[in-house]
């Protein structure tokens, strides 16, 4: 039965976690190298499994952006293997002394990083998460229970089996990497309530997954949640930079959480910037949903001429949506403060960017915008564990407790205090 299968999987992971917690760095790094080698030698097997998922996805008509998230090829497999090696090359966080001091009573106190134990990762579509999450958890001394979506069921199964086989062959314990099938609500509920075995759940997906877990979970959760990200073009922006950043943030990979979904333009920059950015989005095949002021400034770039991408009127719901597609909402604001207030109302706390040459405006934006990552003159697409030097990431937390932004090795650790005395007793 699914219930006993999920429960036993989690209990096996708990047993493995006790061994992983005391392994030295060399043993963990050897296992990661074995996984990287297996990715290279078992590429045909992985691609065959991925093609089964791709074929089912095409038949279901899931859309080009989501197909891109699902797709694997030789280059992407090579990139996943490289990320595993990059994680292996990072400093081991386990045992790191966060702080230490001698107390007035003579006791020596150290605060050190330790693994969380068993981390369950629930994720949608992207099969590379299977390996990224496994590598990060093993390096940080944690066992991992993976639960992917039905859309990547064959890819995830192949990758998880590969990782488990390679890690165990390299000397890690049985149960260090495991996968529960991408089943329905009952299976998710079972996993989310394994409080005796699972120490943390990290869901990586849309708002529906977040809402489902909020209703179910008795295990602590860090939400790697959706990204309604903004680019704000200030009155003092370099418009060449602004165009390049806006286009990159939307189109470099539109189906991911750090892609921009809304472009805000200061009214003093709008007359010059709106027509040129609309032409750029049209050339890139991006559908624009614009407020009345943007549409009034569109000129000949109104989506009606042959070859132009459409421009539609933006409704209230367009400012709240994570499109994960070549669609962007564009609005004009009267001030920096109005842009900040718009982001506060509609943003998801993921990644926000300002384009400006005014250092005071940049500083005000950095201080006032409440998000995990705040950019000045750079694309939101840089919010990524690999780009931040973490090797990889499990997701991007939009919460404020324990982990915020990319979830890497240190975010997969907790800490404990080690206290040493010499016969000390408390008076």
Is the model more confident about 353 or about 214? 353
Residue 336 near residue 365, CB atoms below 8 Å: yes
* Greater model confidence, 18 or 64: 18
Question: What is the reported pLDDT for 196?
Answer: 96
> Is 34 in a helix, a strand, or coil?
helix
Strand ranges for 212-252 from DSSP E: 229-233
Q: Supply the pLDDT for residue 181.
A: 77
260, 249 Cβ separation under 8 angstroms: yes
Domains of the chain by start residue, with CATH: 2-224+394-420 (3.40.605.10), 229-382 (3.40.309.10)
Is residue 3 pLDDT above 50, yes or no?
no
And the tokens for 120?
């369950």
Q: What is the mean pLDDT of residues 48-63?
A: 94
Bridge-based pairing of strands 143-147 and 177-179 is parallel
Task: Say if residue 74's pLDDT is above 50.
Answer: yes
What share of the chain has pLDDT > 90, as a percent? 81
Distant-in-sequence, close-in-space partners of 183: CB < 8 Å, separation ≥ 6: 2, 150
Work out the average pLDDT over 107-113: 98
| Helix or strand (DSSP H, E) at 29 | helix 25-41
* Residue (of 234, 263, 258) closest to 246 by Cα position: 263
Question: Which tokens sit at 203?
Answer: 């869901």
Report the mean per-residue pLDDT for the chain.
93
The rounded radius of gyration (Å) of the Cα atoms in the chain is 24
Q: Give the pLDDT score at 208.
A: 81
166, 188, 208, 226 from 214: Cα distances, Å:
34, 12, 10, 15
Q: How confident is the model at residue 414 (pLDDT cuts 50, 70, 90)?
A: very high
Contact 346, 264 (CB under 8 A): no
**H or E element at residue 25:** helix 25-41
> pLDDT tens for residues 320-377?
999 989 999 999 999 999 999 999 999 999 999 999 999 999 999 999 999 999 999 9
- Taking CA 325 as the corner, what is the angle to CA 323 and CA 329, rounded to the nearest 5 degrees? 55
HSE-CB at 49 with a 13 A cutoff on CA atoms is: 20
pLDDT higher than 50, residue 4: no
Query: 380-410, pLDDT tens digit by residue?
Result: 999 998 899 888 888 899 888 889 999 999 9
For residue 123, what are the β-bridge partners?
204
Q: What is the pLDDT of residues 242-258, one digit of tens each?
A: 999 999 999 999 988 99
User: What are the structure tokens assigned to 69, written together?
Assistant: 């998230």
Q: Which residues of 197-226 are buried (b: 16+ CB within 10 A; e: fewer)?
A: bbbbbbbbbeeebbebbeebbebebbbbbb
Question: Residue 305 — very low, low, confident or very high, per pLDDT cuts 50/70/90?
Answer: low
The confidence band for 378, taking pLDDT boundaries of 50, 70 and 90, is: very high
> In this predicted model, what pLDDT tens digit does every residue of 264-295 receive, in sequence order?
999 999 999 999 999 999 999 999 999 999 99
Does position 5 have pLDDT exceeding 50, yes or no? yes
* Pairing verdict, β 200-204 and 177-179: unpaired
At residue 308 the predicted structure's pLDDT band, cuts being 50, 70 and 90, is low
- The H or E element containing residue 336 is helix 336-346
Strand intervals (E) in 46-161: 97-102, 108-115, 118-123, 143-147
Contact predicate 236/331, CB 8 Å: no
């Amino acid at each position: 039965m699914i219930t006993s299968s999920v429960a036993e999987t989690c209990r096996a992971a708990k047993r493995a976690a006790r061994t992983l917690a005391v392994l030295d760095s060399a043993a963990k790094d050897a296992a990661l190298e074995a996984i990287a080698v297996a990715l290279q030698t078992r590429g045909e097997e992985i691609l065959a499994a991925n093609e089964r998922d791709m074929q089912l996805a095409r038949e279901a008509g899931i859309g080009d952006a989501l197909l891109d998230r699902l797709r694997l090829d030789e280059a992407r497999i090579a990139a996943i293997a490289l990320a595993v090696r990059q994680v292996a090359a990072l400093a081991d966080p386990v045992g790191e002394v966060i702080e230490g001091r001698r107390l007035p009573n003579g006791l020596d106190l150290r605060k050190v990083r330790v693994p969380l134990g068993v981390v369950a990762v629930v994720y949608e579509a992207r099969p590379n998460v299977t390996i990224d999450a496994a590598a990060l958890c093993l390096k940080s001394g944690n066992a991992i229970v993976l639960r992917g979506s039905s859309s990547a069921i064959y890819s995830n199964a192949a990758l998880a089996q590969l990782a488990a086989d390679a890690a165990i062959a390299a000397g890690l314990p049985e149960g260090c990497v495991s996968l529960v099938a991408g089943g329905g609500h009952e299976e998710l509920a079972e996993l989310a309530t394994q409080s005796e075995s699972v120490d943390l759940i990290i869901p990586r997906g849309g708002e529906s997954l977040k809402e489902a877990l909020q209703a179910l979970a008795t295990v602590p959760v860090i939400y790697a949640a959706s990204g309604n990200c903004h680019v704000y073009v200030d009155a003092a922006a370099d418009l060449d930079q602004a165009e390049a950043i806006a286009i990159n943030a939307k189109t470099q990979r539109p189906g991911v959480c750090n892609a921009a979904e809304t472009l805000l333009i200061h009214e003093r920059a709008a007359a010059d910037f709106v027509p040129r950015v609309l032409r750029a989005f049209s050339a890139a095949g991006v559908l624009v949903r614009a407020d009345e002021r943007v549409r009034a400034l569109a000129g000949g770039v109104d989506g009606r001429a042959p070859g132009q991408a459409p421009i539609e009127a933006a409704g209230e719901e367009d400012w709240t949506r994570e499109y994960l597609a070549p669609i962007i909402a564009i609005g004009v604001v009267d001030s920096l403060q109005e842009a900040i207030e718009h982001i506060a109302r509609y943003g998801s706390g993921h990644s926000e960017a300002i384009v400006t040459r005014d250092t005071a405006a940049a500083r005000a934006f950095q201080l006032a915008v409440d998000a995990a990552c705040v950019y000045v003159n750079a694309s939101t697409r840089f919010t990524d564990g690999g780009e931040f030097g973490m090797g990889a990431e499990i997701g991007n937390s939009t919460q404020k407790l324990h982990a915020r932004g990319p979830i890497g090795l240190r975010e997969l650790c907790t800490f404990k205090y080690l206290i040493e005395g010499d016969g000390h007793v408390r008076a």
